[in-house]
Amino acid sequence: MTPTSTPTDLPAPGLPRDGEPLRLMAVHAHPDDESSKGAATMARYVSEGVEVLVVSCTGGELGDVLNPALAHDEQVLANIAEVRRAEMARAAELLGVEHVWLGFHDSGLPEADENGVTPPLPEGCFALLPLDEASAPLVELVRSFRPHVMTTYDENGGYPHPDHIRTHEVSVRAFEAAGDPEQFPGTGDPWQPSKLYYHLTFHKARLVALHEACLAEGMESPFGEWLENWEDKPEDAARLTTSVPCADFFAVRDEALKAHATQVDPDGRWFHLPLEVQQRVWPTEDYQLAITLVPDVRTGDLEDDLFAGVRVSAESVSA
Ligand SMILES: [Zn+2]
């Protein structure tokens, strides 16, 4: 299977006309996911005048408090949903993005007990809803925001949280249905986005680069054990199609991530590797171009712009 497909049964994509801004929609499972996956890319595009909308499918009500300083704070624990809404608002402000909640209920990440039995997902949660019921609000949002490019997770969810896999499913469903007037009637005029990307944040080449940088700095690497247990999958080799330079926005990415104070330990080992080292050894955020309806304008192996092909197509419709 090639990593990128061009379905022939989808309508022609909607393109920006006459100086209209480009639009990017990033679909995420929980508040904080937008700050750990593709945040610097979004901040860069915002700085260039692109309209960016982050969609959080769930409220993250079942996320554990991962910051030791807040883990025993009764006020925080009793009001976790509200606290996370306020954290998300601050992160969106820092990144300069618009933000929408789809309002689905967090499915949680069930853990097996000592007998290896995994508890069932909570009734009515995002991952258990019928696919079209879970997709309809996103289709409506695609039809109103009219993104040229959408980002989401791959078919494995990036990591196997039921809400991440479900986010992949609803994103693909919305990308493929929003342009078809026969589907999801009553949710607005059809709109066909041009490209769909999957985040490729924790891929092996990047982890190896960061791991080696840690060792070169004389630091303990948080990536060593991860890499030791890494399982190479042949289908992953062709996933990297796109690397977006965004090192200038790594600092704002980290600020946005720390705004999710309940979810992030600010003294955690992830923040130990100095920014300037990260900027030097891996200055991009990376993606798999999963579906495209615009021409491939790559000159090298990799694209460096999520809107590659959209910009030239837009010029030809405006001309
Ligand atoms: Zn998540």
Task: Give me the tens of pLDDT residue by residue for the chain, a chain 319 residues long.
Answer: 457 899 989 999 999 988 899 999 999 999 999 999 999 999 999 999 999 999 999 999 888 788 888 888 898 888 888 999 999 999 999 999 999 999 999 999 888 888 888 889 999 999 999 999 999 999 999 999 999 999 999 999 877 899 999 999 999 999 999 999 999 999 999 999 999 999 999 899 999 999 999 999 999 898 999 999 998 887 787 899 999 999 999 999 999 999 999 998 888 877 889 999 999 999 999 999 999 999 998 888 899 999 999 987 767 766 5
Distance CA 181, CA 17 (A): 22
CA of 307 to the centre of ligand 1 (A): 25
CA of 161 to the centre of ligand 1 (A): 7
Residue that has been written with the tokens 């190479």 in this structure = 232
Q: What pLDDT is attached to residue 64?
A: 79
CA of 313 to the centre of ligand 1 (A): 34
Q: What pLDDT is attached to residue 1?
A: 44
CA of 29 to the centre of ligand 1 (A): 5
CA of 45 to the centre of ligand 1 (A): 23
CA of 30 to the centre of ligand 1 (A): 5
CA of 191 to the centre of ligand 1 (A): 27
CA of 164 to the centre of ligand 1 (A): 6
CA of 37 to the centre of ligand 1 (A): 10
